[in-house]
Amino acid sequence: MEYRYKSKVFKPFKMFVCCILIFVVAFLILVFVAVKFNATSIAVLGYCAITVIPFFYEKKVRARFMVDVNLIFKDDGLQVVFYNKNWCFYTKTLDFYWEDINAFKIYFTQSGYTNLDLYFKGRYFVKEISFVDKKEELAKNELSVFNLFLNYCYNYNATCDEEKKVKLRRGFLLTNWGKFALFSLLVLDLLFIILMLIYKPDKFPFSLISISIIITLFLKRENDKVTYERMKGYKPLNSMLEVVND
Q: What is the pLDDT of residue 125?
A: 52
Residue 20: partners with Cβ closer than 8 Å, 6 or more residues away:
none
H or E stretch covering 107: strand 101-108
| 167-168/101-108 β-pairing | parallel
Q: Is 130:65 a contact under the CB 8 Å cutoff?
A: no
The strand pairing partners of 96, in sequence order, are 78
Q: What is the pLDDT of residue 188?
A: 84
Q: What is the pLDDT of residue 72?
A: 92
Q: What is the pTM of this model?
A: 0.70
Higher-confidence position of 203 and 69: 69
* Mean pLDDT across 32-47: 79
Q: pLDDT at residue 246 above 50?
A: no
Name the phi and psi angles at 242, rounded to 5: -120, 135
Q: Could you tell me what percent of the chain has a pLDDT over 90?
A: 6
Q: Is 130:117 a contact under the CB 8 Å cutoff?
A: yes
At 127, the pLDDT band (50, 70, 90 cuts) reads low
Q: What is the pLDDT of residue 206?
A: 66
Among 33-37, 124-128, 207-211, 233-237, where is mean pLDDT lowest? 124-128
| pLDDT tens-digit readout, 138-149 | 887 788 888 889
Question: What is the set of domains in the chain, with CATH numbers?
Answer: 12-65 (no CATH), 67-165 (2.30.29.30)
H or E stretch covering 237: none
Q: How many CB atoms lie within 10 A of CB 73?
A: 21
Q: Is 207:193 a contact under the CB 8 Å cutoff?
A: yes
Q: Which amino acid, 133? A: D
Q: Which amino acid, 246? A: D
CA atoms within 13 A on the CB side of 199: 8
Q: What is the pLDDT of residue 123?
A: 57
Q: Could you tell me what percent of the chain has a pLDDT over 70?
A: 89
CA distance 79 to 152: 13
| pLDDT tens-digit readout, 161-190 | 888 889 888 888 888 888 898 898 888 888
CA distance 94 to 81: 7
| pLDDT tens-digit readout, 86-116 | 777 778 898 989 988 889 988 877 667 788 8
CA distance 153 to 140: 15
CA distance 117 to 124: 15
